[in-house]
Amino acid sequence: MKHVIESQQFTRDLIDKLFRLAHKLEKKPDNSLKGKIMASVFYEPSTRTRFSFESAMIRLGGNVITTENAKEFSSAAKGETLEDSIRVINNYADIIVLRHHEQGASKRASLVSGVPIINAGDGIGQHPTQALLDLYTIERELGKIDGTVIALVGDLKHGRTIRSLAYLLGKYKNIHIQFVSPAALRVGSDIKDYLTRHKVSYSETDDLELVVSSVDVVYQTRIQKERFTTTKEYLKYKGCYQIGTTLVKQMKKKSIIMHPLPRVDEILSEVDASPKAAYFKQARYGVLVRMALLKYLLS
């Protein structure tokens, strides 16, 4: 694999290999990327993805060049195309981590890039490295991925993290995905068709309370304000699923709550102290998984 564009590219063998490497990197310092340069090029806001990739690269002995808010602070503001920017950055970096507001932007970048492109989120498209760290979190916290029942909750129409995660879960055995969303924010038919083709069972509901006691993972997501055309439309759905301690008490004993973050109001802070709250651990596991991926792509 040269570029990381979408979750479907990963085989189960490769995921296992990356997770083993992530475990190893947690225990043993490694500076094997000394002399390598990673460019993080972000056209959309980010806290976790940009910093965790940069932290991962630095922890492996490499260096980082970066632009945040590239729409404004890169030559895109002067009218430079994405393709031209990528061609130029190829002269400065050994790998490019790209977040862009347009679905398909990473694919376009990969077509003109001699160095690996990692999709760090492309509009409402995909966020494959988030999905990898989500799977790694499930494995670390529950001890297995096969046989898991997972509720994907919230804005499933615009959420790229759940799209990428659903594709990756399609590679595991005896998974059941419970999609939970308002009718207008349901997951796309491309995902459902993929799951059907890969014999992954799923069901859909708009009622979180109905399913919360029977799942191993509640994967909560934000209603994506920036993807709605009007504030009025967004406000119709804001706060439609809120996880508080009352709901947490209904969950199975050995179960976890995940969230790619950032959160707005969909998990109340009263839940943070619960042993089920795995969302800040996800951010920690993300550094390990991204270290493993950078090492794999650059070694």
Alpha carbon of residue 54 to chain centroid: 16
Can 161 be counted among the known catalytic residues? no
Q: By CB under 6 A, is residue 261 in contact with ligand CP?
A: yes
Active-site hit among 27, 78, 197, 199: 78
Q: By CB under 6 A, is residue 106 in contact with ligand CP?
A: no
Question: CB-based contacts of 155: which residues, under 8 Å, 6+ apart?
Answer: 181, 185, 221, 222, 223, 224, 227, 237
What are the two backbone dihedrals, phi and then psi, of residue 70, each rounded to the nearest 5 degrees?
Answer: -65, -25
Residue 110 or 129 having the CB closest to ligand CP = 129
Write down the least CB distance from residue 127 to ligand CP, Å. Answer: 6
Residue of 4, 25, 41, 46 interacting with ligand CP (CB under 6 A): 46
Dihedral sign for Cα atoms in the order 286, 290, 293, 295? negative
Can 276 be counted among the known catalytic residues? no
Can 238 be counted among the known catalytic residues? no
Q: By CB under 6 A, is residue 220 in contact with ligand CP?
A: no
Q: By CB under 6 A, is residue 47 in contact with ligand CP?
A: yes
Q: By CB under 6 A, is residue 130 in contact with ligand CP?
A: yes
Write down the least CB distance from residue 281 to ligand CP, Å. Answer: 13
Q: By CB under 6 A, is residue 224 in contact with ligand CP?
A: no
Cβ neighbours, 10 Å, residue 24: 14
The residue among 162, 205, 159, 155 whose CA lies nearest residue 180 is: 205
Write down the least CB distance from residue 51 to ligand CP, Å. Answer: 8
Active-site hit among 108, 127, 171, 290: 127
Write down the least CB distance from residue 209 to ligand CP, Å. Answer: 26
Write down the least CB distance from residue 34 to ligand CP, Å. Answer: 26
Residue by residue, what is the 3-state secondary structure of 211-237? HHHHCCEEEECCCCHHHCCCHHHHHHH
Can 225 be counted among the known catalytic residues? no
Can 48 be counted among the known catalytic residues? yes
Which residues contact ligand CP (rule: CB under 6 A)? 46-49, 121, 127, 130, 260-262
Q: Which residues are designated catalytic?
A: 48-49, 78, 99, 127
